[in-house]
Chain A
Amino acid sequence: MFSRPVFTFDAKGVGHAVYTAQGPERAYSLVAFGHDLAPEMRSDRVIATAWDATFTLFDGVPTSQDIDRLSKNIPLQEAGRVTETEISVSRANRSVRLWDHFVNALSRGQQPDIDMIEAVGYLMRTTAVYGSGKLGAADYETIAGRPEMKVPFQAEMLSVFLTRTFVRDLVNHMAHAKGGDKAVKMDVDIARRLGIGNSTGLGLAPYIVNHSNLFNNWIMAREDAISRVRSVETATPTHVAAFRKLLRRSEISIANWTSQHPIQIKKLANLQSDLNAVKEFVEQDDLLDNFPWNRLLGWADAVLHLEGQEMIASLILEPYGDLVDELAGSMADTNQDAFCIDGRMMIAQVRGQIEASFGWALGLDWAAPENCARVWYVSEEKLEPRLGERAKEAIEAYEQPLAPARDATAAYIAMAQWDDEKPIAEFLLRHPEHRHTIRRAQYNIAAPYGEIQDNTIAADMLPIDFLRVKLAFFGAIHFDPRSDRWVRICMFANAPYPEELTQTNADFWVYPEDKP
């Protein structure tokens, strides 16, 4: 059950609101603050200090004292403090292009232009969603035991889902404040097309390196799901019909996906041509017998670009919720003991694991400028994560340990001088500089998908690739790189709003129903 117990805003959008999601055992509330932001202050970067709107997800239903306390801290974001009753802290900026158009059109009694909506996709974009203890919020561990929070990032996703509702309500409110009786509310169909944007930079990239167990679990859940569906020997006509329907609906989503970035433009062209090839294939194949999904993926592997292959791999899962949905429960990282190094393990086993995880890297010339060109570092300027050029900037002293392949190679070479039968504890006593690498190698024994199979400091490395894989797990659509190191995406477009949500419309909304 959802409710909106508080909504108090002036004509400029300054005020606050509370949206509460009441579950069987607990409630969670999005507390939203609206601000009148000077246009020159608007930036998606971490270094921004003011935003159009700021939010927290509150654990329960906040009292007026809570809201008073939060009103002094949430608008400051990193410069404020929260407590264990807050689960996430986030902020959002308006899409300038779309916001003014919406307010003006609605205030005059007109509905906004659909073409403009499709071009942008959202009225506000979040520019950071902090969780798990950041700024004093509750640690993930304190909510991880709740069934509704078992799947990673559920709290943050709920916060973003409710933020989309707040944005719709605020734009309606501001249009009414401007137009008075002439103003109309946004059409339900138009509102549903709107997602919530997100602008993401380098902060996400280290995350998947630093949480290799967690990331492994995500990839493993997907691989397991694909494997289960590939193992289906005979598909029912119902399952095949569901697949065909969603394939048609994904055409609409792909048609609406645009980017100005040359790399992404090429990928989108590849995806479009892949889609055409898939349509031809499934016209000639009834997909019923002889392991149809395995055949389809086998064909895709041989013929399609990576874009098309991954699209098909995701699409075949959709008809088989009963087969794959339970895997979401395996995505959290519950293996806390893995941190503690097993000093007894023989050096030979650790070296063997490094060969398994980083075989491709061991022969690379890590001194070659193109192989170690980049440095991941954190700037003292609001602690913004950044990427620099090793040869051109004096930043090596500040390098973060985000080149696991290079470090694994160094440890591997150092261990070559040692007796294979010795316990790794003896090596670590002499080589504390390899400690983080040995820990990782031991993690990887149980986490075969934990390592990115590429060089994270290469001259041609693209940070946007890191961002894409993580955002994809959040259900991001319309991935739109704005440079090689920051992107915009959209979430929850076409999703039902809280008051519309039912068991029957809770799934498949990510595939739009019809063409505009």
Chain B
Amino acid sequence: MSFALNEVDAIAKKATRGAGYSWGVAEDAGKATRWLCANRIDGCRALVSVLAVTDNFSPAKMAPTGIVGNWRSDGGMMCPLMAGVTLSDFASVGHADEVCILNVVSPVMILPFAAMAAHRLGQLLTVQWAGISATTDGHVLSFDSADNPDFRAVAKSVTIRVGGQIGQQMPKQNRAKPEGADWKTLSSFAQRTYAPASSESRIMGAGAGLSDND
């Protein structure tokens, strides 16, 4: 089934919130998932791979402890959403030409944040892990492993450096075609943000007042 990119954005944001992240990070996760899908990478699969691992941990334990030297987390594994927002936030601060992030879950999820950083910098950024390389200027992406990205792999290190060359561009698309199982998983994370039905809520929460059938 094909989905609108706004649907992807919305479910990804809710799922990320449902998995325990702050609203602000969830907003970024929505846009990041959408960006991957727009660039023909299965963003929903990528986000499912992230949330499946991070669900049992506090996001704070999987965030960079600082930006000096290699980026590490307290908990050992690094969440690409937490590392990603940090990457994009610090892009224009001009702290380093190269960043190395250790033990990154589902590293493909770093790409949209690298794109945001590249856009803010107005420069190309190249992201590399496990022999895989991708380059973006913020809008277009070249990605040498696009056909078969290993979404579940944990990369020992991901480096992001200024420069590189955009080779074959990923074609853009304005619909997403996620796997049904992934959509279901995201929906079940999103479900955690919905309040359980109750008769009190049903009557008082939205309606009441005069008749709606006249």
* Cβ B86 vs Cβ A429 within 8 A: yes
Given the complex of chains A and B, what is the CA–CA distance between A137 and B3 in angstroms?
Answer: 8
Whether the Cβ atoms of B4 and A84 lie closer than 8 Å is yes
| Sample (22) of A-B pairs whose CB atoms are under 8 Å apart | A83-B2, A138-B4, A139-B4, A139-B5, A139-B174, A141-B174, A341-B89, A377-B195, A380-B194, A386-B195, A398-B194, A432-B63, A433-B22, A435-B23, A437-B24, A439-B24, A439-B27, A481-B209, A482-B210, A483-B209, A483-B210, A486-B206
Residues of B close to A438: CB separation below 8 A = 24
> Which residues of chain B have C-beta atoms less than 8 A from A140's C-beta?
6
A344 close to B (CB within 8 Å)? yes
Chain A proximity of B176: nearest CB distance (Å)? 10
Q: A395-B195, A428-B85 are in contact. Are A133 and B6 (CB under 8 A)?
A: yes
Chain B positions within 8 Å of A137 at CB level: 4
Q: Which residues of B contact A134 (CB under 8 A)?
A: 4, 6-7
Could you mark each residue 37-64 of chain B with 1 if its beta carbon is under 8 Å from any beta carbon of chain A, else 0? 0000000000000000000000110011
In the complex, what residues of B have CB within 8 A of residue A342's CB?
92, 120
CB distance from B29 to the nearest CB of A (A): 11
Bitwise, A69-95 to B at CB < 8 A (1) or not (0) is: 000000000000101100000000101
The reply to whether B213 and A96 contact each other, CB–CB distance below 8 Å, is yes
Give chain B interface residues in 174-193, CB to chain A under 8 Å. Answer: 174-175, 191, 193
Asked if B4 and A482 sit within 8 Å, CB to CB, the answer is no
B206 touches A428 (CB 8 A): no
Q: Which of B101-109, B126-134, B148-156, B196-204 contacts A (4 or more CB under 8 A)?
A: B196-204
Which of the residues A199, A340, A380 comes within 8 Å of B212, measured between beta carbons? Answer: A199
CB–CB A260/B210 < 8 A = yes
| Complex: A435 Cα to B26 Cα, angstroms | 10
Q: Do residues A401 and B208 form an inter-chain contact, with CB atoms below 8 A? A: no
Chain B's nearest CB lies how many Å from the CB of A179? 25
A342-B120, A429-B67, A483-B210 are known contacts. Are A435 and B205 too (CB-CB below 8 A)? no
- Seen from chain A, the residues whose Cβ lies within 8 Å of a Cβ on chain B are 39, 42-47, 81, 83-84, 93, 95-97, 132-134, 136-142, 199, 201-202, 260, 337, 339-344, 377-381, 383-388, 393, 395, 398, 401, 423-425, 428-429, 432-439, 481-486
Residues of A contacting B194 in the complex (Cβ-Cβ under 8 angstroms) = 377-380, 383, 398
Residues on B with C-beta less than 8 A from A142 are: 174
Which B residue's beta carbon lies closest to that of A83? B2
Instruction: Indicate if the CB atoms of B174 and A337 lie closer than 8 Å.
Output: no
**Known: A84-B4, A342-B92, A436-B23. Contact between A484 and B209, CB under 8 A?**
yes
Q: Which of the residues A132, A344, A387 comes within 8 Å of B93, measured between beta carbons?
A: A344
The one of B24, B209, B213 that contacts A436, using a Cβ cutoff of 8 Å: B24
Query: Shortest 3 CB-CB distances between A and B: which pairs?
Result: A435-B24, A483-B209, A386-B205
Residues of A within 8 A of B86 (CB): 425, 428-429
Residues of B near A93 (CB, < 8 A) are 213
The reply on B119 being an interface residue by CB < 8 A is yes
The answer to whether residues A133 and B24 also contact, given A343-B91, A387-B206, A435-B85 and a CB cut-off of 8 A, is no
> In the complex where A138-B4, A201-B206, A432-B22 touch, is A423 in contact with B88 (Cβ < 8 A)?
no
B111 at the interface (CB under 8 A from A): no
The residue that A96 contacts in the complex, of B2, B63, B214, with Cβ under 8 A, is B214
Question: Does B212 lie within 8 Å of A45, measured CB to CB?
Answer: yes
In the bound complex, CA of A395 to CA of B206 (Å): 14
- Hey, which chain B residues are within 8 Å of A46, CB to CB? 206
CA distance A44 to B213 in the complex (A): 7
Inter-chain CA distance A378–B175, complex, in Å, is 26
The answer to whether B212 and A429 touch across the interface, beta carbons within 8 angstroms, is no
Beyond the given pairs A340-B116, A423-B93, 19 more chain A to chain B contacts, judged by CB atoms under 8 angstroms and listed by A's residue number, are A84-B174, A96-B214, A133-B4, A134-B4, A337-B119, A343-B91, A377-B195, A379-B206, A381-B197, A395-B201, A424-B89, A428-B86, A428-B89, A429-B86, A435-B24, A435-B85, A482-B210, A485-B208, A485-B209
Question: Are A45 and B31 in contact (CB-based, < 8 A)?
Answer: no
**With A and B bound together, what is the CA distance between A432 and B16 in angstroms?**
13
Task: Return the contact of B89 from the options A96, A132, A429, A483 (Cβ within 8 A).
Answer: A429
What chain A residues lie within 8 Å of B214 (beta carbons)? 95-97
Bound form: Cα–Cα A337–B175 in Å: 21
Chain A CB within 8 A of B21 CB: yes
Complex interface: chain A residues within 8 A of B93 (CB) = 343-344, 423, 425
**In the complex the two chains form, is A141's CB within 8 Å of B2's CB?**
no
Knowing A199-B212, A383-B194, the reply to whether A81 touches B1 (Cβ < 8 A) is yes
Cβ of B22 and Cβ of A486 under 8 Å apart?
no
Chain A residue with the shortest CB-CB distance to B28: A435
B25 at the interface (CB under 8 A from A): yes
Task: Report the minimum CB–CB distance from B54 to chain A (whole Å).
Answer: 13
Given contacts A387-B205, A429-B64, whether A343 and B119 have CB atoms under 8 Å apart is no
Residues of A within 8 A of B4 (CB): 84, 132-134, 136-139
Report chain A residues within 8 Å CB of B207. 45, 201, 483, 485-486
CA distance A450 to B175 in the complex (A): 30
Known: A84-B175, A482-B209. A339 touches B31 (CB 8 A): yes
For the complex, what is the distance from the CA of A78 to the CA of B212, rounded to whole Å?
20
The reply to whether B201 and A393 contact each other, CB–CB distance below 8 Å, is yes
B206 & A436 in contact (Cβ 8 Å cutoff): no
Is B82 interfacial (CB 8 A cutoff)?
Answer: yes
Task: Give Cα A202 to B194, complex, Å.
Answer: 15
Chain A residues near B63: list those with CB within 8 A: 429, 432
Tell me the minimal C-beta distance from A38 to chain B in angstroms: 11
Is B85's CB under 8 angstroms from A432's CB?
yes
In the bound complex, residues from chain A placing their C-beta under 8 Å from that of B28 are: 435
Instruction: Pick from B4, B7, B31, B93 the residue with the most CB of A within 10 Å.
Output: B4
Of the residues B24, B175, B209, contact of A434 by C-beta under 8 Å: B24
Q: What's the Cα separation between A385 and B204 when bound, in Å?
A: 12
Name the A residues within 8 Å of B67 (CB-CB).
Answer: 429
Please give, as numbers and ranges, the residues of chain A lying within 8 Å of B91 by CB-CB distance: 343
Nearest A-chain residue to B205, judged by Cβ: A386
In whole angstroms, how far apart are the Cα atoms of A486 and B66 in the complex? 48
Q: How far is the CA of A387 from the CA of B31 in the complex (A)?
A: 27
B residues within 8 A CB of A387?
Answer: 205-206
Q: Are A202 and B206 in contact (CB under 8 A)?
A: yes
Q: Which of chain A's residues have a CB closer than 8 A to the CB of B175?
A: 84
| In the bound complex, CA of A214 to CA of B201 (Å) | 31
Question: Please, which residue of chain B has its CB at the minimum distance from the CB of A440?
Answer: B24
